Amino acid sequence: MSRQLEITIAGAGLAGSLLASLLADRGHRVRVFERRPDPRRSGFLGGRSINLALSARGLEALEAIGIRDEVMQNAIPMQGRIMHDANSQTSFHPYSANPDEAINSVSRGDLNIRLLDAAASRPNVSLHFQEPVVDVDFASGIAHVQHDHDEDLKHVKSDLIVGADGAYSAVRGAMQSAGGFGFRQQYISHGYKELVIPPQPDGGFALEKNALHIWPRGASMMIALPNADGSFTCTLFWPWEGPGTSFESLEDVEDLVGYFRGIYPDAVDLMPTLEEDYRENPIGHLVMISCERWTCGHSAVLLGDAAHAIVPFFGQGMNAAFQDCIVLDRHLEAADRDVRTAIAAFSAEQKPNGDAISQLSLENFLVMRDKVSSPWFRFRERLAKWLHLVLPRHVQPVYNLVSFSTTPYRDIVEKRARHRRAMQALVTAMLGLGALAIAFLVGTFV
């Protein structure tokens, strides 16, 4: 019988609570410390996006802890994007040639609560709320935890400490203080703000329900994802400042509704609380985190946003965090619970994947806010989908690989680079042949 490990997880957010169940099912004793109050008692205080797109990687992880079906009962499949142009014309663009492939809109609060219920139902998991990890001593494997706002700290010794405490991770902070830990934090020039399209008076959806709606406007955009109660959560992704549409430029606008009517004409009448929501809801920062490695010492590791916060434009942050959990669990078993070996192998495998999805997510911002409205881009997308239908093993669009497969993100980026090189070679060869043919014709007839 393999050794039972004592494991401490900082953060009972999406990744931390899922990981607790996975590791408990292997027989380990897991203690989870969370900074916030228990959302099952106090209501969800997430402060970040109300709904999330759940796709293949996330579903695989939920399946592994046995809650995929219950989560999917309240999910709304989105089979494609609906684009809303400046003249209120709409067009539907499926994500895949296979109509069964969809991403799923789920409530962040509901999902977090289900994950916590799942963890709490395992007898070898203990959950501690309002008990933040404030520091870690990596040499002795001790996490210092604040208890009930006391000055005195709890000192929790374990075989493995996991930092699943989000983009502003205290565990990562302790790794930086320990020295020799390379780390980069970058804010993009855009922030985000959430607004709402409520259900219709009869409880129905005000827009097509099974789609992700986008109002692409070049440098900025608005998106809307459906919620199970018939509403949509809209998110503005706007530059913080600048002369065009930006949060700063709207500060002086008196007729806010009129301004919105100018850019999102078909949405405004669906948003009766627009002015109130815009003035009251905060603007969130979009941060990217990249760490040189995800481990410190022989027994501490980061995952999820703590290791690789990314911008949300591929809807992959949570899905990637869940995949981290699956991979860490796999390495612990493969290394026969030798923590040092397992976390080194985990970091070596997942760090390049974190970098790859970070790059893909940033690139997809340009696609969503701008390229999707270009006819040439749409033609290429349609061609890729058609080729995928005809040659499914040879042509797989990046979107499909990211959202509908669990292929490591690094492999997707490499595959795309190979594909681009092959296409360039093909185009060069065709141009060369064309030039030869012209030279031949000129030589023959002139």
Complete DSSP assignment for 228-277: TTS-EEEEEEEESSSSSS-TTTTTT-S-HHHHHHHHSHHHHTT-TTHHHH
Cβ–Cβ < 8 Å for 236, 222: yes
Q: Count residues contacting ligand FAD (CB under 6 A)?
A: 34
Q: Does 165 bind ligand FAD (CB under 6 A)?
A: yes
Nearer to ligand FAD, 191 or 337 (CB): 191
**Sheet of 51-54, strand order:** 51-54, 103-107, 76-78
Smallest distance, ligand FAD to C-beta of residue 76, A: 12
Q: What would the two tokens of residue 115 be?
A: 């994950």
Beta strands per DSSP E along 138-209: 142-146, 153-157, 160-163, 183-197
Q: Which of 30, 83, 164, 332 contacts ligand FAD by CB under 6 A?
A: 164
Smallest distance, ligand FAD to C-beta of residue 319, A: 4
Q: Quick one: which segment of 5-13, 86-94, 154-162, 267-275 binds ligand FAD (CB under 6 A)?
A: 5-13
Q: Which residues contact 318 (CB under 8 A, 6 or more apart)?
A: 14, 15, 52, 54, 58
Q: Which of 22, 82, 83, 133 contacts ligand FAD by CB under 6 A?
A: 133
Helix/strand/coil for 29: strand
User: Interface residues for ligand FAD in 63-102 (CB under 6 A)?
Assistant: none
Residue reference for tokens 């228990």:
38
**Strands 80-84 and 212-217, how do they pair?**
parallel
Q: What would the two tokens of residue 386 be?
A: 């058609």
Binding mask 292-321 for ligand FAD (x = CB under 6 A): ------------xxx-----x--xxxxx-x
User: Interface residues for ligand FAD in 24-53 (CB under 6 A)?
Assistant: 33-36, 48-49, 52-53
Q: Which of 5, 7, 8, 14 contacts ligand FAD by CB under 6 A?
A: 14
Q: What would the two tokens of residue 439 be?
A: 């030279």
Smallest distance, ligand FAD to C-beta of residue 340, A: 23
Nearer to ligand FAD, 169 or 299 (CB): 169
By Cβ distance, which residue is nearest to ligand FAD? 13
User: Interface residues for ligand FAD in 189-218 (CB under 6 A)?
Assistant: 192
Query: What residue ranges bind ligand FAD (CB under 6 A)?
Result: 10-16, 33-36, 48-49, 52-53, 132-133, 164-166, 170, 192, 235, 284, 304-306, 312, 315-319, 321
